[in-house]
Amino acid sequence: MFRKLIMVSLSVLLLSSSFVLSSSISANAQSTNQELKPQPRTLILTASGDLDGTFVPYYEKADIPGLETGYIDLHYHSFNTGFVDGDHAYLTIELPREFSTLAKQASFKENISGTMQRKGLLGDRTFTITQDDLTVSGTRIAVKIPRELWIISGEIMADISINYGNVQKNYPIRLVQNNSEGFLFKSALRRSMAPWDPIQYPLIGTNSDTWQSPYTTAYWE
């Protein structure tokens, strides 16, 4: 009953917001006698982002049959209310600075893989993350998410695997420094909102989150 009341309230708020925005645009057009500007496509009322993960250090002394080491699995989930009409979203993962040398290697990007799921007005869709969806800049990984279409609520889930062991095994020295407090990963979700969208950020909450690995080294000692 409580959840139903919230969803009804959101519907009323969305309709009210659309009415106010449309009225404001019409008033400006009449006063300036100019062509109407494009109407807003996206408005995020509330946002909630969550990042979790697992970390398996790399065993550099020998390959162990049946045991894969040197990988990071990150799991991201966002739940938003409002509306989105055709915007792309970009999920960014900020790696710990200790991974900066490893992330510079040419083979790093090709060892990133994963899937994403999008829930919206047209139902649930699952996508495989391709190399074309990925951009690596320093320690930042950006994942391009296909266009969204939803009203009232929408969700994005992403599972990203980083096989850094495949990169490390090609070098005789360790590329990842230790961190006595554990490795900190940061996530953020940003939509490619149009300049005429009235509000560029969520009104309440955030799609950003952090996850800290309990390991202080990226290698089995």
How far apart (Å, rounded) are the C-alpha atoms in residues 125 and 45?
23
Q: Which domains does the chain have, with CATH numbers?
A: 40-212 (2.60.40)
**Higher local confidence (pLDDT), 7 or 119:** 119
pLDDT at position 138: 96
Q: Check whether 109 has a pLDDT greater than 50.
A: yes
Q: Does the pLDDT at position 10 exceed 60?
A: no
Rounded mean pLDDT, 204-216:
96
The pLDDT score that the predictor gives to residue 191 is 78
| Cα angle, residue 87 at apex, residues 82 and 89 outer, rounded to 5° | 90
- Residue with the larger pLDDT of the pair 25 and 123: 123
pLDDT at 100 over 50: yes
Mean pLDDT throughout 24-52? 61
25 dihedral zone (left: phi>0; alpha: psi -120 to 50; beta) = alpha
Asked if 217 contacts 175 with a C-beta cutoff of 8 angstroms, the reply is no
CA quadruple 136, 139, 140, 143: dihedral positive or negative? Answer: positive
pTM, to two decimals = 0.78
Chain segment 134-193, per-residue pLDDT in tens: 999 999 999 998 877 778 888 999 999 999 999 999 999 999 999 999 999 999 998 765
Close Cβ partners of 113 (under 8 Å, ≥ 6 residues apart): 129, 160, 161, 163
pLDDT of residue 51: 99
Task: Say which residue, 190 or 65, is predicted with more confidence.
Answer: 190
Give residue 37's Cα distance to chain centre: 30
Q: In the predicted model, is pLDDT for residue 13 greater than 50?
A: no
> To the nearest whole number, what is the mean pLDDT of the chain?
81
Q: Quick check: 40 pLDDT over 70? A: no
pLDDT digits 0-9 by tens, 115-126: 999 887 767 889
HSE-up of residue 91 (Cα within 13 Å, Cβ side): 29
